[in-house]
Structure 1
Amino acid sequence: MSDVTTTDLYEVTMALSYLHEGMDRPATFSLFVRALPPERGFLVSAGAEPALDHLSDYLVTPADVEDFAAALGRPPAALAALRGLRFTGEVRAVPEGRVVLAGEPLLEVTAPIAQAQLVEIFLLNQVSHQTAVASKAVRSVLAAAGRPVVDFSLRRTHGPGAGLQAARLGALTGFAGTSNVAAAVRWGLPASGTMAHSYVEAFPDEETAFRAFARSHPGPVTLLVDTYDTVRGARTAARVLRDLDRGPGCAVRLDSGDLGALARLVRSDLDAAGLPDVRIVVSGGLDEYAVDALVRSGAPIDVYAVGTRVGTSADAPYLDSAYKLVDYDGRPVLKLSSAKETLPGRKQVFRRPGGGDVIALLEEAGPAGSEQLLRTVMSGGRRLDPPDTLPQAHARLTADLAALPAEALRVRAPEPCRAKVSEKLSGLTADLRERLGSPDVVASARGSSG
């Protein structure tokens, strides 16, 4: 089954109707996040690259038509208008790694309306999930305050595909490595791993297990020391590493208990054994909140391995994202549903150094000295440039984070950055609302202008 059928049924029914009605004019859909989740001061744009891959390869095959027909309970001949449909449109997107805010388009698709409609669900799925996870992951990097963070999330992500995405997004946001072998090979990431408690339990005692592991791995090793008693395990590991002269580059890992207190005891024992270069790695249900608390406590921890809570963005597992029609055949349109209003027209986001973001109409010049966040990345259904690399995305993120106010970067109780709406866009919104018979909300539109 192809990715073309990764869609909701109503996308197919609408596209089929558009084609039967002869509606083939360009439509622009805008993908944005309505509001930031709690405890988020900003978001990190992600998912554009796989979205563009999907659009580049998009083709409705006869097999896809048969699947659509089966879902609708109709003969394939009734859906013949869909056969051979390709994506031939334009995409303007915020590059991966840029900081983005609520209400700002992460991408805008302009294509014949049936094409633009059919790709909605896949694009929302990719951009929403990956932006949520990237926005969670970067908070762990910020909390670690320069200490390495490693991805250990694969075992509990929502499927292997999500695990691959989590590892990739960790690298994008500054993680030092991943336990996910497939991701490490696919994207050239440092692979990181130690041993499980089951390995230690398989041997008569910890020392036998540690020596056996060291014999199999002649380079630096990381020994898991909390299978039975953490302090005793750390002392055993220190004895083995010292006997084998394997100190520099090696580490011990703590996976349970009071990690701050245990790290202090273990550090003391390692130093007393003449192993000041042996690092302490901690894991076990960590996310940015736990990392922040440990760093602030001064715990002598060298590496943080984060997993379940980060790979699933546990405290904010979804974004209130939307993919809405904003223009059809040159006619700006908007939605007035309660709490789900949209801004009409094709847009651009202008970022002003020290002055915040402005959401404006595409044809606007933008404030002096501002840069445009959305760039044209696809035309005629083809990419205009080679895919971005993870180092390029990470460099963009590093620069954007440096420009954010400290209040937005806080792990706890951040103050979200907010985008303003240009006067021209605000005025168009108010005019359309008035024309559609909703004068009661005109004032609120005009009041949000910047």
Structure 2
Amino acid sequence: MSHLPLLSQSSPEAIFAWRRGRPVLVQEFLADVEHLAVALPEARHVLNTCSDRYEFCVGFAATVVSGRTSLLPSSRAPDTVAQLRALAPDLLHLGDAPGELDLPFLQYPVRRNAVSGAHFAMPMIPADQCVAQVFTSGSTGTPLAHGKTWGALAHCVRAGAARLGQAADCGPLHLVGTVPPQHMYGFESTLLLALQGGAVLSAAHPFYPADIATALADVPTPRLLVSTPVHLRALLASGVTLPPIALVLCATAPLGHDLACAVEQHLGAPLLEIYGSTETGQIASRRTAQTDVWTLFPEVLLTAAADGTLQAQGGHLAAPVPLSDDVDRIDTQNFRLIGRHADMVNIAGKRSSLAHLNHQLLSIPGVDDGAFHMPDDRSAGVPRLMAFAVAPTLPRQALIEALRQRVDPAFLPRPLVLLDSLPRNATGKLPRSALVALAAEWGSQAEARS
């Protein structure tokens, strides 16, 4: 059985993270991991809700070195927790605050003050050890669990780190993330990038633009900002001044060309967009300001199954994984994204995707946020699209006319609902359940008025 180190950085005196204005050395981090691993009770499954990114990382690493599995759900709603308990009856809640979860709770322990490097030893983890159960976001339906082995995660993140190094062309990156580490993108691009990609972790989890600026200023150069289209759009709108950034990483939702260009111009740094899924992990990237073509990571190939379904295989993938997206394959290493299979919309013999329609809506000046939705109930015959938008300065009719210039009339939403905000989750995604709830509320109101 092959083993891989917990950290790619083997020097005990190297800086692993920045926390509360001070560096945390590799040897300190490993001492914290050992201290927590010993304190964990006998439960084999752990739900880690630590909001401090360093504490979350210690918690995850402690479960790994002690042979436990971390459960990383997309939500902490009571029904989700009930599903987790059904999956893992011995589930333990590890956190820096108790919260209201109906689970046995272990408070994250205070870090020891004195740490000696005399007994420094790098933990070696079996490559086939399942270290995490990661759940889909629910943006296309019910969240599903996917087991991740240490070997697959390490292989994937190392390939991604190599791509980041090519884009940034600088030394070890000091990363600040606006996305939670419990989500697959945040898990890979903040937590695992520090463990296996050589990046230096920031413990901060900023959300508002001013907090993002402070978190970036608190770490040395070169800086990596790991974010989402929603956060980047808000960052630009705020006009807040940021310290120099070497690279921006973006994922969770399609990023428009115009927004990518605006981010690169405003921040003076290249922006790399990541393509992947919970099922596959990160498998491709593109510099969106320059191209619409995605390039797969080394060793990962895009092939066709016997039934013609496109699938990703090779690299960190133990077996071929069918893509949940509709893509235009250029060759085995490059493709263009059309949209999710579940997002494809056919109306009056015309075909589009929700991703394309969302892009057109968000490209309208004055629209801060928005999303199209196709209700499941199409019993009336002709399917009717709905759309929800946040556009404080635009009247509804002006927004409809702007959409009319961008999309076929068959895809104009009926109704178009203006809201103060959309119910996005911490990663900037709109769970399908939230859209269904909005559709039920506003669809019934539209019917009552008609």
Q: Please tell me the TM-score bracket, short chain as reference.
A: under 0.3
Bigger relative contact order, structure 1 or 2, given CA contacts below 8 A and separation 6+? 1
Larger radius of gyration: 1
Task: Answer 1 or 2: which has greater helix percent.
Answer: 1
Task: Answer 1 or 2: which has greater strand percent.
Answer: 2
With normalisation by structure 2, the TM-score equals 0.21
With normalisation by structure 1, the TM-score equals 0.21
